Every structure is written in C-alpha cells, then in structure tokens.
Amino acid sequence: MTSKMTDRIATFYFWATGAVIILILAWFLLRILGDGLPMLNWNFITGKPSEIMAGGGVGPQLFNSFYILFLSLLFSLPIGIGAGVYLAIYAKKNRFTDIVRVSVEALSSVPSIVFGLFGFLLFVNWMGLKFSIIGGAITLSLLNLPVLVRVTEEAIKSVPESYWEASLALGSTRWQAIRKVLLPASLPSLITGITLVAGRALGESAILIYTAGLSVSRFFPDFNPLSMGETLSVHLWYVQSEAIVPDAKNIAKGSAALLLIVVLVFNLLIGIPSRMLQKKLSGGK
C-alpha cells in the first residue's frame, strides 16, 4: 500500500469519526431541547416547585445550582491553584512530590458518589452541618481540587521557560515572577480548566444528594449556607424517580433542557473571552 493511499484512508477515517461524533452530539441536543424547550417559560424558570399540584417551577433549584457552584469555587480555586503553583515551581523532584502527584491523579478518577459518601459522613454527620448548601459546596470543592491542581501545574509548565528566566534576570522575586508573568501567561489554559470544572459541578448530582439534600428553603432566594440546597440536576433525578406530582415527566424534560442551556451558555460566556485573551497574548496569530 502506497503512502498516498494510506494518507487518504487515514484522512477519511478521521473525517468520518468527527462527523459521527458531531451527529451524535446534534441528536443529543435536538432530542433534549426538542422535548424540553416547549416546557420552558418564565413561571417555570423562576417559580417555586410543587410536590402535589401540577405547574411547579425550578427557580430555587436553579439559584442553588449557581450558589453552590460559587461557594465550591470559592473554596477550591485558592487551594487548587496554590497547590498547582507549588508543584510546578517550588516542589523538588523527590519521592514525596511523586507521591503527591500520583495521589492527585488517583483522586481525580474517584467516582463522585464516593466523595458524596465521604461528605455525608464528615460534614453531614460528624461536623453536624446536616443537609446544607455549605456541606454540598465543600464536598463539591473536594471533587474539583485534583483537576484544578493538575490543570494549574500543566498550564504553568506550558509557559516558555524563557519567560521565567527573563523575569528573574530583571530582578524580580519568585512571587513577582509568578504573579506578574507566569499566571497571566497561563491564564487562558487556567480559564479553560476552570470552565470544565464549573460545568462538571453544575451537572453534578450524586455528591449533592448525600450532602445538600432533596429539598429547598421556604424562602427564595435564600443565601443561608446552612439551609437545604437541592440543585437543578438533583431535582431532575428526583422528579424522574420519586416525585408524585402529575406533570413529573414535563418537569423532567424542562429541567433537562434548562440545565443543558445553562451549561452551554456558561461555557460560552467564559470560553469566548478566554479565546480572545489567548489570541491577544499570542499577538493575534
């Protein structure tokens, strides 16, 4: 077989693979949005849920989704980015740092339900937080930490070493070089990693079932971190499995479409500025 024939076969294979993936994604979007968009209206998006009567909304669940996401990032970003900077800059190559890296990689592959059970035992029972927004947010931050550490370390290592050497040669300290050179240069990659983590957190349900609960506060919006905080993804699971409300299927379809739209819009709002920033840093290439 000639090299040209091999190249054509490989090209056709990759094009076909890409087309199949796009078709599957399109079918997935059309199926969920086609069933769920007719259910979406202002009352559904902002209204309170109903346990018995038809016509309830998902306003508190949507609010809790973003509130828990915000709190989880508030906990995980400083620790995750700080640990990534330490591993990339300060940590020496020895057995201890090798164990840390292996442990981080192992934690990133742990199923989310294991983190949920851990959060249930530690925060709900032992610390007495019960089912609460703060318990769910802290447990969710533990799920995000390994990914943030690896993303930060790889983002900083992707910056050309000449940036670091030039900054130190000009008399800056290590911290000044990290704060003013390395972090800004690696910001597009960091934003991409944070976007992936945030999108995963918005769709997470197993952890929050065990830590945030299956109910919402009587007040809306409720910023009390000790109140129960059912999110949109948890509500979707609940109405599909245990709800007795007569329009449970319609609520599930609308919740799925709304959750998909929220994740897509969230990724676009962060991803587009990240691409623009990356082009600006690379000189418009």
Residues 189, 155: contact at Cβ < 8 Å?
A: yes
Residues linked to residue 7 through DSSP beta bridges, in sequence order: none
The set of residues, in sequence order, having a beta carbon less than 8 Å from that of 58 and lying 6+ positions away, is: 44, 45, 47, 49, 232, 235, 251, 254, 255, 258
Q: Is residue 50 in some structural domain?
A: yes
- Print the domain residue range for 216: 40-281
CA–CA separation, 122 and 139 (whole Å): 9
CA–CA separation, 113 and 215 (whole Å): 19
- Looking at residue 191, its pLDDT comes to 84
DSSP 39: G
- Rounded to 5 degrees, φ, ψ at 216 are -125, 165
- Looking at residue 1, its pLDDT comes to 59
Tell me what percent of the residues of the chain surpass a pLDDT of 70.
94
Q: Is residue 33 in some structural domain?
A: no
Q: Is residue 22 in some structural domain?
A: no
Calculate the average pLDDT of the chain: 85
The set of residues, in sequence order, having a beta carbon less than 8 Å from that of 228 and lying 6+ positions away, is: 131, 132, 133, 212, 213, 214, 215, 216, 217
How does residue 279 score in pLDDT terms, banded at 50, 70 and 90?
A: low
Residues 36, 258: contact at Cβ < 8 Å?
A: yes
| Rg of the chain taking only CA atoms, in angstroms | 23
How does residue 167 score in pLDDT terms, banded at 50, 70 and 90?
A: confident
CATH number at residue 156: 1.10.3720.10
Please return the burial class of 108, using the count of CB atoms within 10 Å of its CB with bins 0-12, 13-18 and 19+.
middle
Q: What is the mean pLDDT of residues 258-272?
A: 82
Q: Does 231 score more than 70 pLDDT?
A: yes
pTM: 0.86
- Domain count for the chain, please give it: 1
Q: Is residue 122 in some structural domain?
A: yes
- Among the residue ranges 64-73, 93-102, 140-149, 206-215, the one predicted with the least confidence is 93-102
CA–CA separation, 170 and 252 (whole Å): 59
- Looking at residue 52, its pLDDT comes to 78
CA geometry: angle at 92 spanning 91 and 96, to 5°? 85
Q: Does 274 score more than 70 pLDDT?
A: no
Q: Is residue 28 in some structural domain?
A: no
Length of the chain: 285
